[in-house]
């Protein structure tokens, strides 16, 4: 059995959500959600639903946001890939047991009240990876 159900979202680090939305709205005809602040990360995020998967725009709200540092170093671009799990605590326990390097050893609360945890890119071929267990509605 896989720990993962599906890709939940792919996050793109952007300087400006409004500007980044233009392609998705004006060209692709998709809708972008209202931006939501994530004060803990000093970011603002917005989502584009595409079938079962979402694109997440992540915009830094201050120069000391981790995403500001990411953009300063690597430019705008894919920031992380998020995988949905039904059991984030179990997934983290499995990863700890297999020596996967974790940024978050315990789940924390992310956008939309989902439980999230980040896996270090060095364990995932250089890609920052998020585990996410959506809030049960």
Indicate which single residue of 11, 32, 92, 131 sits in contact with Zn ion (rule: CB under 5 A).
11
CA angle 64, 68, 73 (to 5 degrees): 115
- Cα separation of 107 and 104, whole Å? 7
Confirm or reject binding of residue 46 to Zn ion (CB under 5 A). Answer: no
Least separation in angstroms between CB 24 and Zn ion: 17
Least separation in angstroms between CB 82 and Zn ion: 4
Q: Are 132 and 92 in contact (CB under 8 A)?
A: no
Residue whose CB is less far from Zn ion, 26 or 66: 66
Indicate which single residue of 14, 82, 91, 119 sits in contact with Zn ion (rule: CB under 5 A).
82
Sign of CA dihedral 101, 107, 109, 112: positive
Sign of CA dihedral 36, 81, 122, 73: negative
Build a one-symbol-per-residue string for 116-135: x at contacts with Zn ion by CB under 5 A, - elsewhere. --------------x-----
Residue whose CB is less far from Zn ion, 29 or 32: 32
- Cα separation of 95 and 14, whole Å? 30
Binding site for Zn ion (CB under 5 A): 11, 56, 82, 130
């Amino acid at each position: 059995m896989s720990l993962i159900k599906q890709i939940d979202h792919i996050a793109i680090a952007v300087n400006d959500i409004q500007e980044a939305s233009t392609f998705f709205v004006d060209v692709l005809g998709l809708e972008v959600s209202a931006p939501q602040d994530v004060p803990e990360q000093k970011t603002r995020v917005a989502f584009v639903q595409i079938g079962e998967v979402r694109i997440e725009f992540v915009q830094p709200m201050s120069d000391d946001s981790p995403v500001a540092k990411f953009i300063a170093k690597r430019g705008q671009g894919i920031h992380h890939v998020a995988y949905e799990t039904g059991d984030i605590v179990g997934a983290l326990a499995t990863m700890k047991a297999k020596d996967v390097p974790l940024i978050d050893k315990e789940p924390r609360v992310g956008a939309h009240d989902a439980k999230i945890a980040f896996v270090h890119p060095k364990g995932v071929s250089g890609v920052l990876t998020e585990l996410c267990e959506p809030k049960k509605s």
